[in-house]
Amino acid sequence: MMLVTKPDATALQKPSGYENWRPAITGVTVLALVGVDNLVLPCLMGALVLPTGTVEDGQSPKDAAQLVLTGMPGGLPIQRRVAVDEVHTRRRKVISHLVVTALLAVEEAQYLAYRDPRADMSVLRTTEAVPLLTETARARTLLGLQALAINAMVYNRNGAIEHLEYVPAA
Blockwise average pLDDT, block size 10, the chain, 170 residues = 53 50 89 95 94 94 95 92 90 92 93 93 96 94 94 92 86
| Per-domain boundaries in the chain | 25-158
**pTM of the predicted protein model:** 0.84
Per-residue pLDDT at 7: 54
Tell me the Cα Rg of the chain. Answer: 20
CATH code of 25-158, in short, is 3.90.79.10
Query: What pairing do the DSSP bridges indicate for beta strands 47-48 and 52-54?
Result: unpaired
> At 66, which helix (H) or strand (E)?
helix 61-68
Per-residue pLDDT at 55: 96
Per-residue pLDDT at 18: 47
Backbone phi, then psi, for 162, in 5-degree steps?
A: -95, -35
